[in-house]
Chains A and B, each alone.
Chain A
């Protein structure tokens, strides 16, 4: 079966994110998605952000780990479509993302409580 292989994820720090994204953009990659998941790391809640890029049907993944309530830079200047994901992550997980090209300021998801995905 020619399916996607077991995934390869490049773990980066928050500072490297923008520069790596820019170089991927220049190589012709396309942003597929940004996914946020809440994981427990030795008792402390950590948010993992996976950035997935694609070129010629091959995936390239970047992962950054942040603490709850941390700030990260936006990549929507580089990939125009990133703003929906970033707004989603902001509304559901409460991550504040600096410099989103179209920032709905928490009004994208109409949820009954703020940041529902961080609750247990």
Chain B
């Protein structure tokens, strides 16, 4: 048994531009333990809820995280709507679904870039971010913001998308598929990428369930769990099967995300073809009273919102349990036993989003 060394990793680190700090306990080149600590950028957004009116907090909720911004807004709105028993118009539900899937595509493309960066392929990083840029353009065209959509509000959505734009969007996404083929082709078939991903950071099915993993991390270990099955927004009427892989290593997580890209495009096409006409928002009167848990499937996995309101215009308690937070135990588990040089890879395949943790 070698001597144990502790190497600090982060919060400022070249491969992980996220303020997560890990103390890695090494024995020679092998990790034996990892001790995380967070809180470097804690913003207290959960406490801010009691200082903003409930309808305005949507804009704050969207800013919890830049990548899943729409999802955070959506989750908050859904929770308040559930408490106030607001019936959201059909068209708004479909629009929400489309935006949610667009943010999934852009998040996964971004992840591909960061993962490529983590194992040192700048070229691939640029390529996937270029594709992401075209998705961001679609988002900007439809919602008005590149990353902060500002599209969701309590009772519906803030703007409609015209049928022509929807058609255009579908064509653009269809074209994007060709580019994605090339991108995911490299990730899934290239030999040198395979060396960095295959068999690294294995999370077995049992471990994943025991450690409470969610999202692509869990699905890569062969568990079929996807919160979109709950049927929020318009998912109830769309047909899809959760993407699963069985190996549970970094490569499987990569493959899950690659296939989810196509699934999202397909879901958008379905939603566009089924889009009903009509209003996009309802008038909201009164104030919420009650409490509610709301769960959504973010690009990174299951997120849970808890809202407790006491009938005033200010909400009493708002809690977000983000997917990355739940994935920390799995991340620590995967890190144990892997090489020091694989640390960035393993951390990135979990797709950590520290700003989500640090509400």
Contacts and interface: CB of A to CB of B under 8 A. Distances in A.
Note whether A and B form a binding pair. yes
Interface of A: 1-4, 6-7, 30-33, 35, 37-39, 50, 52, 57, 59, 61, 79-81, 83-84, 88, 91, 104, 107-111, 116-117
Contact of A31 (B82, B212, B232, B328): B212
Interface string B15-54: 0000001000000000000011111101010010000000
Contact of B292 (A7, A33, A80, A110): A7
B19 to A, nearest CB: 10
A81 B329 contact: yes
B304 A52 contact: yes
Nearest to B333: A80
Given A3-B231, A104-B35, A80 B211 contact: yes
Contacts of B82: 3-4, 6
A101 to B, nearest CB: 10
Instruction: Name the residue in A3, A38, A88, A109 with the highest tally of chain B Cβ atoms < 10 Å from its Cβ.
Output: A3
A107 B21 CA distance: 11
Contact of B290 (A6, A79, A91, A110): A6
A111 B44 CA distance: 11
A80 B329 contact: yes
B306 interface: yes
Interface residues of B, number: 43
B211 A110 contact: no
B63 interface: no
B295 A4 contact: yes
Given A35-B306, A80-B211, A108 B317 contact: no
A79 B290 CA distance: 29
28 contacts: A1-B88, A2-B236, A3-B78, A3-B82, A4-B230, A4-B295, A31-B212, A32-B212, A33-B304, A35-B319, A35-B321, A37-B306, A37-B316, A37-B319, A38-B317, A39-B317, A52-B293, A57-B230, A81-B211, A81-B329, A84-B325, A91-B39, A104-B37, A108-B38, A109-B37, A111-B39, A111-B42, A116-B42
B210 interface: yes
A32 B211 contact: no
A110 B40 contact: yes
B326 interface: yes
Give the secondary structure class of A's interface: mixed
A117 B47 contact: yes
A110 B37 contact: yes
A37 B317 contact: yes
Interface string B305-329: 0101000000011010100011011
B291 interface: yes
Interface in B181-235: 209-212, 227, 229-232
Contacts of B166: none
A107 B38 CA distance: 9
B294 interface: yes
A79 B306 CA distance: 21
B248 to A, nearest CB: 16
Nearest to B235: A2
Contacts of B229: 57
B304 A7 contact: no
A3 B329 contact: no
Given A37-B308, A79-B210, 11 more contacts: A3-B294, A6-B290, A7-B292, A30-B212, A37-B306, A50-B306, A107-B37, A108-B38, A109-B37, A110-B38, A110-B40
Contacts of B326: 33, 81, 84
Given A35-B306, A57-B229, A109-B38, A84 B329 contact: yes
Contacts of A61: 293
Contacts of A116: 42, 44
A4 B35 contact: no
A70 B295 CA distance: 30
B133 to A, nearest CB: 34
Contacts of A107: 35, 37
Contacts of B293: 4, 7, 52, 59, 61
